[in-house]
Chains A and B, each alone.
Chain A
Amino acid sequence: MANDIILETESLSKHWGGIKALNDISLQFQDKQLHGVVGPNGAGKSTLLNMLCGTLKPTSGCIFHKGDQIEGMKPWKFVRRGIGRSFQKTNIYADVTCLENCAVAAQRRFTGSFNLFASRHANKLVREAAEKALCQVGLDSRIHTVAAEISYGEQRQLELAMVLATDPCILLLDEPMAGMGHEESQRIIELLNELKQTYSIVLVEHDMDAIFELSDQLTVLDNGTHLITGTVDEVRNEPRVKEAYLGKEDEEEAA
């Protein structure tokens, strides 16, 4: 069933003092779809993502995961429900190998982490899951390399592999292609196209070509408000979107 709603927000708002970073956002994220989120700088994209994964508490409004109300829960409980996120700024364990990075992510799925005696290397399932996640993103050759020693683009791939190793049902990706070269971006786009067959993906990205190519649904935010959600074509033909990105015409003339 392609139209199952996995994650849903209802009148979600985040205020910092008097500043409304995000105001009254109601969205639905469906299974096996890639839901793009775009908007100019300061539109509230990252704020939205941070609330969806539990690291920011909303000022008001609700978040539902498969029908359960989850806002206000601890971030690690979000992950346990299958909501995995990647970070805009590469956020990995730089001092250990790529395999160990993913093993941290995978361990929770297979075995208790409060075991003080069993060697961390003893569980085969953890190792296999970590290796599988690395292969999925194309880091097969870097399994035993220390994360600090791989290229920036590869670190972005590792970032993604760590999310995949948690076995999520929904991926919240914060600019996975930020700072990547063209070829590397292409590889990620291919990967995301593949992943959206199995996962629900929320993608925040500045690369417009990529997001138009990938999105099944596209949401435009501007200045903390929800402008429109629709298919790529619907969004493209919406005059308010052009305004948000290019400024109002009379403003431009005045300038």
Chain B
Amino acid sequence: MIFEKRTERIFLAIFFVIALCIPLFLEDNSFFVGKATTILILAVFVMSLDFLVGRVGLVTLGHALFYGLGGYLFVIVTPEYEAVNFWIYAMYIMGISALVALVVGVVVLRTSGIYFIMITLAISQMAYYFFFDSLEFGGNDGLFIFMKPETSIFGLNFLNLDNPTHFYYLSLLAVLVTLLAIKIILRSRFGRIVEASRLNPERTEALGYNIFAFRLISYIIGSTLAAYAGLLFALQYGYVNPQFMTWEMSGTALVMSILGGMGTIYGAILGTITYEGLQYFFEHMSEDWMLFMGGAIILMVLLLRKGLAGYLEKLLEK
């Protein structure tokens, strides 16, 4: 069983049942389906960050770099007025992102602790200003996606990305696949050494493991998943701009992961839904919503030391 905790199984069962049904009830309200889709895409991004920060022990403040990269790469590598195949190009874009993560990883993983935070932040800011200042990539306005890709597999076409409900299910699939992939990796032999490297890097090296290699591979996996989330987000809204890559984006995702319960992975889903829910609630309540939002998050972090997942586990375990 890759889901070890009872709480985890209960939460995920409830989540997926509700998530599968949402479009049935909101069929006529494409705004809410769109909103729910965005939350699912963000959840993929936050899970990939939670994996790196909470499980591999790499506290990155530059994760949004890959989120933006996924979006930009799609516009850059696809022909402008031709509907390309989604699956093939998703693979293609994840491949390029993995290569970028390899290069960035080799540089940033030479540092650790606070220096790692600083250098990941610096590199993502460099990318942000590169796209911000570049004319060929649209500068601050970014780039538009004129043609949504088609999604046929072996000639079978059952998903239409122009249909919000279809796009919603594609995003839900991404959540499921990301969740399973991360859980399987964490349970694997590779995951054992990754866990050991986080708990005690000195000891792990003294047991004969090249922890740099384990961290680099983990970094590539986390970054590639983030790029996939960014690709979906760009496709949902039909554009990509430098805002995808801001440090606020990385920081917000970090808050979502902490709120949900760092390192629990399923907590990332919980944290994303809660954060977005709170924001929606406060936005509609008051002009000064950021003030309430900030206060609410401070309160929750103070009261729930191990995040929402930790609180649920306290209620449901034993």
Contacts and interface: CB of A to CB of B under 8 A. Distances in A.
A174 B188 CA distance: 32
A79 B207 contact: yes
Contacts of B210: 74, 76
Interface in B195-250: 195-196, 199-200, 202-211, 213-214, 217
Contacts of A118: 188-189
Contacts of A119: 187-189
A11 to B, nearest CB: 25
Given A79-B206, A111-B189, 5 more contacts: A53-B206, A93-B200, A116-B184, A116-B190, A119-B189
A104 B192 contact: yes
B189 A115 contact: yes
B104 interface: no
A206 interface: no
B205 A75 contact: yes
B34 to A, nearest CB: 34
A181 B70 CA distance: 59
Contact of A55 (B184, B192, B193, B206): B206
24 contacts: A53-B206, A75-B206, A76-B211, A79-B206, A79-B207, A79-B208, A85-B206, A87-B203, A91-B206, A93-B203, A104-B192, A104-B207, A105-B207, A107-B193, A108-B207, A108-B209, A113-B214, A114-B190, A115-B189, A116-B185, A116-B190, A117-B185, A120-B191, A162-B207
Contacts of B189: 107, 111-113, 115, 118-120, 123
A87 B209 CA distance: 17
A192 interface: no
A113 B204 contact: no
A137 interface: no
Interface string A159-196: 00010001000000000000000000000000000000
For the complex of A and B, 7 pairs with smallest distance between CB atoms: A79-B208, A120-B192, A104-B196, A93-B199, A105-B207, A91-B203, A116-B190
A95 interface: yes
A135 interface: no
Contacts of B185: 116-117
Interface in A114-172: 114-120, 123, 162, 166
Interface string B173-189: 00000000000110111
Interface size band for A: 20 to 34
A55 B189 CA distance: 25
A65 to B, nearest CB: 14
Interface in B83-135: none
Contacts of A74: 205, 210
A118 B190 CA distance: 9
A15 interface: no
Contact of B208 (A76, A100, A103): A76
A246 interface: no
B207 A166 contact: yes
Interface string A89-108: 00111111000100111011
B283 to A, nearest CB: 40
Contacts of B207: 76, 79, 104-105, 108, 162, 166
Interface string A64-84: 000000000011100110000
A95 B199 contact: yes
Contacts of B217: 114
Nearest to B211: A76
Contacts of A96: 195, 199
Contacts of B211: 76
